[in-house]
Structure 1
């Protein structure tokens, strides 16, 4: 009996003499921050364990009741939720508070420790290594892929005729084709074969990640593995990792056999530069960096796949829908495109064309204000952070910058629910705090692919509005918005299209 009593005494001593005082000290430091009442152990998990369509309204209610900064608990973990530019600037511009919050841990099964989820020296090294992959000249080469896939995309739209249809999945399949070819140099023909295993797996895994995030009892790896959702997640991972590994090995075999060439000759014997995928650039880097293993290559390729298709498809879908609801702004976009292309529906988009799409860019930015692709970004504080009003956030807590509500600050954006692209004209945007609008995050951990995303979105949207007049088949107030891993509509965005 001696050893069990000793162990129990040691455990109780640890809890009461070390853990409890630390916990009470932490709670005391958070007293200055208001927030909803929470339950022991569960925290506010009960408030958040609602249908996914209601999560946004719960968070919105907390902001209404407690202001643009409040605290809540997910299980035992304290969160501070921010939605004002001054606080956002403090956290996002910090060169030291760059560790992503534990909410991103659920992505590690899929993405490993890639650029999105890594921290410390590994993140700094990888960011430095990957930045050249988004050089202007490489992005210009990707423009060929955008144009080729948009040709397929517009033919898909033409077959819709005058039917009411959900634009969201149609756009998503196109962006998936684009990202597979630009990231891996592999065609998956998602627009032609939307029922492929890979396409279905990449759709489903994002839903499973969000499902786990909102259920503290599934944060434990053992409980997650036992759950039905965890088992389904493993099936998706097997498909996704298997596909990426296959492509990596195919690419490496090409290199080994000498079949990969930097240039290719077309049917008229003209030599053209062979298009490189993101994966090719990683494998090139692997030749000189022995720390870049095949697993690292897979992590970054999967991260690019994850961040580069769902976010872009959401941005294009929301912009299309908002323009379908606002015909006066749609007409201005079409007038701009008519001036650029002089009515030529077949000519491919060039870099010069993209630079001239000023009003379309304002529409994209306004859509990202209302429906940012990533509804929030999270940080885990590794040291205390003093805010402008003197409130000190202690280390160990999780901070969310809730972009969805930050972009609706009426002091910055009057009549915030109104779709008004003129907010992003040079005159209106001048003097605005840059941290009041952060659709691609900001600071050292901003989105490395934001130029790639804006280019792709312009090509897709110009492909639509050069050829079609789009009309909404439902009201915006009837669309249930879900803040999952991305901001998406629960039941889609329904429109009709008519050839111009």
Structure 2
């Protein structure tokens, strides 16, 4: 759930590509705020001025107001939603396997599952999108694909030309559909909000159901007691839906791929989950379980290092930046920070292409810079939803390994950086349902 990747596009601003930890330390500590809007502007008609695209005082104010939405008290009930959505996906996998389809595209299935969870967590809405078509979900998938496609077509970076094309018209239609859905939820929810006694309302609602993202946004206030406008709420909700589904799906798909290639690590994770859930009915992951899966967590982190969902981010220098070697990046220069390059830097990560979860053993991380591993970015503009994303990945991976053995496909996938790190033609794996649980 970080920011979309950014490749090289033609812009008048000078650019610098960085992948050294020491250089990134200086950037994080300096006044780096605005992003390179050449690419990010493609998202503006869809996402508005949400946290991803806003800057300055508006970003600072919204960041403070949204931080409580990701407090563990809010996230805790979401674990039940993660369990439920994963159960739906697994039931579909078992049906497909029984029908002879043992090779599955992880991106396709997991993206629908993360979107299913997000609709419940953001809107308290069940579209059943894993089992039947959903116009709203289809629109989000189409918007993501269209933005990635436009990014590769430099002659369509101009809005005037783009909106004359069939893709531009499809983008506008999908935007309208997504905005209409979000607006309708906001308007309906506003009618149910109390004029006073908000704290009692929150406590009552939290006891009866999950407090969703829209609830938190509607009730958020800044230091002066000012609330978010409906337009701002829509922007933040749409941003969360966009940032939260593809990045988490990428992270989960690649960790399953890595564990399929390393059955010894897969089996160790499985045993950890089996021991945790032994003699428990139903076999579901609870909030307190998330801290009791240390090796599985190490496997997720090593996969995020090797295959970071977001490969590159950009920042614009608001002041001169002095690098450790004495060179200066002048004010106004756009820095492309290569998360992929940082994670594959052999001076920090020996044998960087080797998948080794023990890199994240507590003893092995003591001497390593915290900026050597930045799948959720770092600094003030790091990913606000990283605890949400890690919680979801742990639940889904634990339940998947509990119920299925994951095996590699015949062909090795090729990395394909788009908005997030994908695989050319999909990321295909074989799945085998496991027999009865061990006693």
TM-score, normalized by the shorter chain, greater than 0.5: yes
Between the two proteins, the alignment pairs up a number of residues equal to 422
2:285 alignment partner in structure 1: 349
1:366 alignment partner in structure 2: 302
Task: Measure how far apart 1:263 and its partner are.
Answer: 6.9
1:275 corresponds to 2:210: yes
Q: Distance in 2 between matches of 1:301 and 1:459?
A: 23
Task: Measure how far apart 1:424 and its partner are.
Answer: 0.7
The answer (yes or no) to whether the contact 2:405–2:433 under 8 Å persists in 1 is yes
The answer (yes or no) to whether the contact 2:284–2:399 under 8 Å persists in 1 is no
Pairing partner for 1:470 from 406, 409, 425:
406
Task: Measure how far apart 1:449 and its partner are.
Answer: 0.7
2:437 alignment partner in structure 1: none
TM-score by length of 2: 0.90
The alignment yields a C-alpha RMSD, in angstroms, of 2.4
Pairing partner for 1:205 from 130, 143, 147:
143
2:83 alignment partner in structure 1: 147
1:169 corresponds to 2:108: yes
The answer (yes or no) to whether the contact 1:166–1:495 under 8 Å persists in 2 is yes
Q: Indicate the SS of the match to 1:378.
A: strand
- After superposition, give the CA deviation of every residue in 1:289-347 in whole Å (9 maximum; x if it has no partner): 44511000001111111111111111111111111111011011011111111165732
Are residues 276 and 148 of structure 1, via their aligned partners in 2, closer, same or farther at CA, if it must alter by over 3 Å?
A: same
Pairing partner for 2:131 from 187, 192, 195:
192
Task: Measure how far apart 1:420 and its partner are.
Answer: 0.8
Q: Indicate the SS of the match to 2:15.
A: strand
Q: Indicate the SS of the match to 2:77.
A: helix
1:254 corresponds to 2:192: yes
* Residue pairs, 1:333-482, within 5 angstroms: 333-342=269-278, 344=280, 346-475=282-411, 478-482=412-416
Query: Highest relative contact order (Cα 8 Å, sep 6+), 1 or 2?
Result: 2
1:299 alignment partner in structure 2: 235
Are residues 264 and 152 of structure 1, via their aligned partners in 2, closer, same or farther at CA, if it must alter by over 3 Å?
A: farther
Are residues 139 and 73 of structure 1, via their aligned partners in 2, closer, same or farther at CA, if it must alter by over 3 Å?
A: closer
Gaps of 5+ in 1: 1-54, 60-71, 266-270
Q: Distance in 1 between matches of 2:340 and 2:379?
A: 18
Q: Distance in 2 between matches of 1:135 and 1:330?
A: 31
TM-score by length of 1: 0.80
1:82 corresponds to 2:18: yes
Q: Distance in 1 between matches of 2:249 and 2:266?
A: 19
1:124 alignment partner in structure 2: 60
* Residue pairs, 1:54-73, within 5 angstroms: none
The answer (yes or no) to whether the contact 1:286–1:293 under 8 Å persists in 2 is no
Q: Indicate the SS of the match to 2:319.
A: coil
2:255 alignment partner in structure 1: 319
The answer (yes or no) to whether the contact 1:345–1:467 under 8 Å persists in 2 is no
Bigger Cα displacement from structure 2, 277-286 vs 219-228: 219-228
Q: Indicate the SS of the match to 1:401.
A: strand
1:219 alignment partner in structure 2: 157
Q: Distance in 2 between matches of 1:291 and 1:264?
A: 21
Task: Measure how far apart 1:228 and its partner are.
Answer: 3.0
Q: Distance in 2 between matches of 1:301 and 1:277?
A: 11
Task: Measure how far apart 1:379 and its partner are.
Answer: 0.7
Q: Distance in 2 between matches of 1:178 and 1:465?
A: 19
Task: Measure how far apart 1:245 and its partner are.
Answer: 1.0
- After superposition, give the CA deviation of every residue in 1:217-237 in whole Å (9 maximum; x if it has no partner): 333222222233222211211
Q: Which has the larger radius of gyration?
A: 1
Q: Distance in 2 between matches of 1:73 and 1:468?
A: 42
1:491 corresponds to 2:430: no
Q: Distance in 1 between matches of 2:80 and 2:391?
A: 11
The answer (yes or no) to whether the contact 2:219–2:227 under 8 Å persists in 1 is no
1:98 alignment partner in structure 2: 33
Task: Measure how far apart 1:355 and its partner are.
Answer: 0.6
Q: Distance in 2 between matches of 1:252 and 1:454?
A: 31
Q: Indicate the SS of the match to 1:400.
A: strand
Q: Indicate the SS of the match to 1:280.
A: helix
- After superposition, give the CA deviation of every residue in 1:18-56 in whole Å (9 maximum; x if it has no partner): xxxxxxxxxxxxxxxxxxxxxxxxxxxxxxxxxxxxx99
Q: Distance in 2 between matches of 1:381 and 1:286?
A: 30
Q: Distance in 2 between matches of 1:379 and 1:233?
A: 26
Are residues 398 and 228 of structure 1, via their aligned partners in 2, closer, same or farther at CA, if it must alter by over 3 Å?
A: farther
Gaps of 5+ in 2: 435-439
